[in-house]
Amino acid sequence: MKRLRSETHSLDEIDARLLAALEQDARQPISELARLVGLSAPSVSERIRKLQESGIIRSFTVDIDTKALGYPIGAMVRVRPLPGKIHLVEKLIQEIPQFIECYKLTGEDAFFAHMLVRSVEEMDDVLESLVDHAMTYTAVIKTTPVKRRLPPL
Amino acid sequence: MKRLRSETHSLDEIDARLLAALEQDARQPISELARLVGLSAPSVSERIRKLQESGIIRSFTVDIDTKALGYPIGAMVRVRPLPGKIHLVEKLIQEIPQFIECYKLTGEDAFFAHMLVRSVEEMDDVLESLVDHAMTYTAVIKTTPVKRRLPPL
DNA sequence: GTTGAAAATAGCACGAA
DNA sequence: TTCGTGCTATTTTCAAC
């Protein structure tokens, strides 16, 4: 059980603009960010440090095009574990690297997992490894109408 | 309709290690990345440039803790548009900023959307704006057994 | 928060494998 | 082609205000 922590950091307009700019390009120079938000470079540096310290910025990372990486097929899998199998199923999903994201949800479909595969055969392999422990409902991703973005700040 | 493009870039071991390192911290100095993969800084610079050029790296971005940002509730919403309403529903989802991610899927539940809200009331507001055009099934996220990660390289 | 100097870092041209 | 070296330019950090 994780400890609840009150995040005291409150965002002002400039922090919001900084986060938006960093979301678009996290490797742009501090000096450029400073120009964008109208502050000096050291101020921006300090704000970014505080955003990390307060936990709002978890990390700087890359957005990878998984198709270009060799995974042409993405799918969303709803997973309903058989009675008594929830923990086993959770562990299996964590151990199968083709699942690149998984949420545990309220309701009967305990897990919702994002799967990437190189072929339909590979998809079958992945699903087979769950078949003894859960019901699965798989839907292939056709398009992405909304790409990951920030909520309103 | 987007043009199909054959991505000719093929990853070697060093590219894979670079991507993994960038995923962990996209702002670390090139010189540090060079040390990690055992090449000189200019070589690493050039490799990163090529990974971007080939589209494998789409962008450098930040991983934000949305709870710390003030959105304590996340939910997954399956959206089944009423007949003839698919395009309207897609547009609505795109315009509602509490949806931070949305996939269009095969099967009857055309859309799957990731929602962030500050309260249960706000969740109701968001869902109300779809109620005339679609059936929705909402499940609240309890935990995240697998956080976004790279597939096997 | 800002400014200005020192230190660290990145980019470029060129030569080597 | 791909990588390494040395040089220059840019960027970041630190101190003082």
Q: Cβ separation of B104 and A142 shorter than 8 Å?
A: yes
- What pLDDT score does A10 carry? 83
Region B76-93 average pLDDT:
98
Of the candidates B102, B141, B151, the beta carbon closest to that of A71 is on B151
- What pLDDT score does A7 carry? 53
What is the rounded CA–CA span in Å between residue B120 and residue A124?
Answer: 38
Task: Assess whether pLDDT exceeds 60 at residue B5.
Answer: no
Q: Most distant CA pair in chain B: distance in Å? A: 59
Q: Is the CB of B42 under 7 A from strand C?
A: yes
Q: Is the CB of B41 under 7 A from strand C?
A: yes
Closest CA to B138 of A39, A135, A112, A149: A112
Closest CA to A110 of B106, B136, B144, B99: B144
Read off the pLDDT of residues A23-56 as tens digits, 9 standing for 90 and up: 999 999 999 999 999 999 999 999 999 999 999 9
Question: Which contiguous run of DSSP H or E holds residue A140?
Answer: strand A134-146
Per CATH, A13-53 and A73-140 having the same topology is answered: no
State pTM to two decimals.
Answer: 0.94
Which A residues 41-70 have CB within 7 Å of strand D?
41-42, 45
Q: Cβ separation of B61 and A61 shorter than 8 Å?
A: yes
Q: For residue A148, what is the DSSP state?
A: S
| Beta carbons of A119 and A74 less than 8 angstroms apart | no
| Beta carbons of B60 and A25 less than 8 angstroms apart | yes
Read off the pLDDT of residues B108-140 as tens digits, 9 standing for 90 and up: 989 999 999 999 999 999 999 999 999 999 999
Task: Assess whether pLDDT exceeds 70 at residue A98.
Answer: yes
Closest CA to A106 of B136, B143, B119: B143
SS3 A94: helix
What is the rounded CA–CA span in Å between residue A115 and residue A102?
Answer: 9
Across A4-15, b (16+ Cβ under 10 Å) vs e yields eeeeeeebeeeb
Q: Which tokens sit at A52?
A: 């990390």
| Beta carbons of B61 and B111 less than 8 angstroms apart | no
Nearest-CA distance A139 → chain B (Å): 5
Q: Name the fold adopted by B13-53.
A: Arc Repressor Mutant, subunit A (1.10.10)
Contact pairs from chain A to chain B, CB under 8 Å: 206
What is the rounded CA–CA span in Å between residue B55 and residue A68?
Answer: 7
Region A138-151 average pLDDT:
98
| Beta carbons of A149 and B69 less than 8 angstroms apart | no
Q: Name the fold adopted by B73-140.
A: Alpha-Beta Plaits (3.30.70)
DSSP states of B77-143? EEEEEPTT-HHHHHHHHHH-TTEEEEEEESSSS-EEEEEEESSHHHHHHHHHTTTTTEEEEEEEEEE
Read off the pLDDT of residues B6-31 as tens digits, 9 standing for 90 and up: 456 789 999 999 999 999 999 999 99
- What pLDDT score does A31 carry? 97
**C1' (D9) to CA (A57) span, angstroms:** 31
Question: A61 contacts in B (CB within 8 Å)?
Answer: 22-26, 60-63
Alpha helices in chain B (DSSP H): 13-24, 30-37, 41-53, 86-95, 120-128
What is the rounded CA–CA span in Å between residue B131 and residue A80?
Answer: 26
pLDDT above 90 covers a percentage of chain A that reads: 92
Nearest-CA distance A26 → chain B (Å): 5
Q: Cβ separation of A103 and B9 shorter than 8 Å?
A: no
Region B136-151 average pLDDT:
98
pLDDT above 70 covers a percentage of chain B that reads: 95
Domain parsing of chain A, residue ranges: 13-53, 73-140
- What pLDDT score does B6 carry? 46
Nearest-CA distance A131 → chain B (Å): 19
Task: State the nearest residue by CA to the C1' of D13.
Answer: A42
Q: Is the CB of A40 under 7 A from strand C?
A: yes
Q: Cβ separation of B65 and A76 shorter than 8 Å?
A: no
- What pLDDT score does A109 carry? 86
**C1' (D17) to CA (B22) span, angstroms:** 38
Mean pLDDT of all residues in chain B? 95
